[in-house]
Amino acid sequence: MDKKTNTDQIIEQKVDALLAQMTLDEKIGQMTQVRHFDDITIDEIKTKFIGSIIHTQGPTPGKDAAEWQAKFVELQKLALSTRLGIPMFFGVDAVHGQNTYAGATIFPHNIGLGAAANLELVEKAAAITALESRATGFNWVFSPCVAIPYNEKWGRVYEAFSESTDITTELTKASVRGHQGLSGQPVSLIATAKHFIGDGATDFGVEGGNTTLSQEEVFKRLLPPYRAAVEAGVGSVMASFNSLNGVPMHAHRMMITDVLKGSLKFEGIVVSDWKAYSRFGGTDVINAGVDVVMAVEGDFNMYQEGVRNGVLNGIIPQERIDDAVRRILRQKFRIGLFDNPFPDASLIPKIGIPAHRDVARQAVRESLVLLKNENNLLPLKKNARIVIVGEFADNSGLQSGGWTVNWQGLKENYAGATTILEGFRKKSTTEILYDKDGDASYEDVDVAVVVVGETPYAEFMGDIGGEMNIYQLTITEEHQKLIGKYVSKGIKTVVVLISGRPLVVTEQLEQANAFVAAWLPGSEGDGIAEVLFGDYDFKGKLPHSWPKSVEDYSGKYGPNFWDNTIEPLFPFGYGLNYK
């Protein structure tokens, strides 16, 4: 047998030996994930045998990475002091870098990486994300999102790579490789493919809504990225908030147990999403095949007691519990957590280093899609008199989108980032003017670069027409006026759109001399100026079909390349360049 098979055999032997010693309460503890604040007391980490902790929105573990690590060391010691000394996982939503830590390298969101479609670049970005996550104390990341969006009204479009199954599948493999390392090599962190399954294909783009696709469509368009993730050795898969033809995915035994664990032979952990036990049927969630539950916001005691009673009353089979715990222990042994349970302090100086930011800046450059370039206005001359317009041009929070430091993102600058305006000022050989609010009266300029976009959002908060109903398929009236102001003066105008999805900008495209889709570039905003000044050419191609009108979304889905009933303004794969 080869070395990998021998290693796997040894791990299975260790798992079986440990499982045989565990009580029911210890097993349930391993299946429990909590936050390190609010959900439980410190003592309960030990007395309830907690198996994993998630860090997300809320108080941070400390003021810097050293304090974050120290907090996780303290918590890990409690787990190690239990009878069997099983170490804990520490999980984080690192969806475009270690995005809960101010000062980490923040990459373009996945929609931008989908536009770049560079497998090597995606793998490098994931590897850096993994390293900086480990440097802040984590050994489990809840990424990549491998959804296939069907409707731009969905508030999570930017978390996905593309509407293309093929591109998503290839980038998923690259991302898993980057996060976890090459198959057969030692790993120190597990990644998570999410959200299984149909999250981006809900009717009318509703977050957590109902996906009414046939089984054939699900298997053909939505399942391939998960197959690729499993083949790449992904350590976990997260169940989705949505229903599939009326059945909540968290309680969908056929898809989780029969398809994912059965047909695809997934041996990792199926983890729930937020507060899933109380939301999606209690013990039905466990019986469907979910192994670890985020027992948060009041679910903790109800969850542990419910699972315990379910087993004792015969509602949950003992073998279902043993399957869950076996999968959890397998991954803990696989990443060497029993031998090295504590964070590596030597990684802290690598957070946000120039080499990491260089990769993120390359990702920004390659993600940009040139939609229009009338009379070759771009590239701009470095000695041109340029005015940069709009608050989005000098605000790293606005340019980064949701899941940046905070769950819903930021509307202000954060540590370590470079804004779009700073990038222009670095590259220009003359003064760059700035008109933040469109109130200035600059007229003696050669070009206006107007930066407009969507304010940050995450999950259901970004749904268009959803319960919050904050966002729209067009840019705001204020941003339309910013563009119109400079166009009306006869000044050549470049529009840079910061958005988590294609928006209806047909009129603005006609007005502008040049138009760039910049997505959500993250911390390295200066990569935009590098391309607009011509140091690099445009490489990005549309990862989604681009809508021509709001009416394109009158049905369940928007325009897409696999369904030609709605003609897009620009087709999937469109993108100009200088050559």
Structure token pair of residue 229: 């993730």
Q: What whole-number distance in Å separates Cα of residue 170 and Cα of residue 275?
A: 31
Contact yes or no for 487/511 (Cβ under 8 A) = yes
Task: Please report, in angstroms and rounded to a whole number, the separation of the first and last CA atoms in the chain.
Answer: 53
- φ, ψ for residue 54, nearest 5 deg: -110, 135
Q: What whole-number distance in Å separates Cα of residue 556 and Cα of residue 561?
A: 15
Catalytic positions: 273, 459
- φ, ψ for residue 511, nearest 5 deg: -70, -45
Three-state secondary-structure class, residue 55? strand
Contact yes or no for 448/491 (Cβ under 8 A) = yes
Contact yes or no for 475/453 (Cβ under 8 A) = yes
Contact yes or no for 536/530 (Cβ under 8 A) = yes
Q: What whole-number distance in Å separates Cα of residue 58 and Cα of residue 47?
A: 24
H or E segment to which residue 163 belongs: none
Distances (CA, A) of 192 to 137, 436, 498: 17, 40, 27
- The one-character DSSP state at 258 is I
Please report how the helices 318-334 and 300-312 are oriented relative to each other, as an axis angle in degrees rounded to 10: 130
> For residue 130, which of 92, 160, 161 has the smallest C-alpha distance?
92
Note the maximum CA span of the chain. 80
Position 414, amino acid: Y
Match 């519990």 to its residue by tokens.
321
Beta strands per DSSP E along 172-268: 192-196, 210-211, 236-239, 243-244, 247-248
Q: Is 194 left (phi over 0), alpha (psi -120 to 50) or beta?
A: beta
Contact yes or no for 46/87 (Cβ under 8 A) = no
Contact yes or no for 225/261 (Cβ under 8 A) = no
- φ, ψ for residue 250, nearest 5 deg: -65, -20
Match 């090597």 to its residue by tokens.
120
Q: What whole-number distance in Å separates Cα of residue 507 and Cα of residue 313?
A: 64
Strands across the sheet with 236-239, in order? Answer: 140-141, 89-92, 52-55, 32-35, 292-294, 269-274, 236-239, 192-196
Structure token pair of residue 55: 């860090």
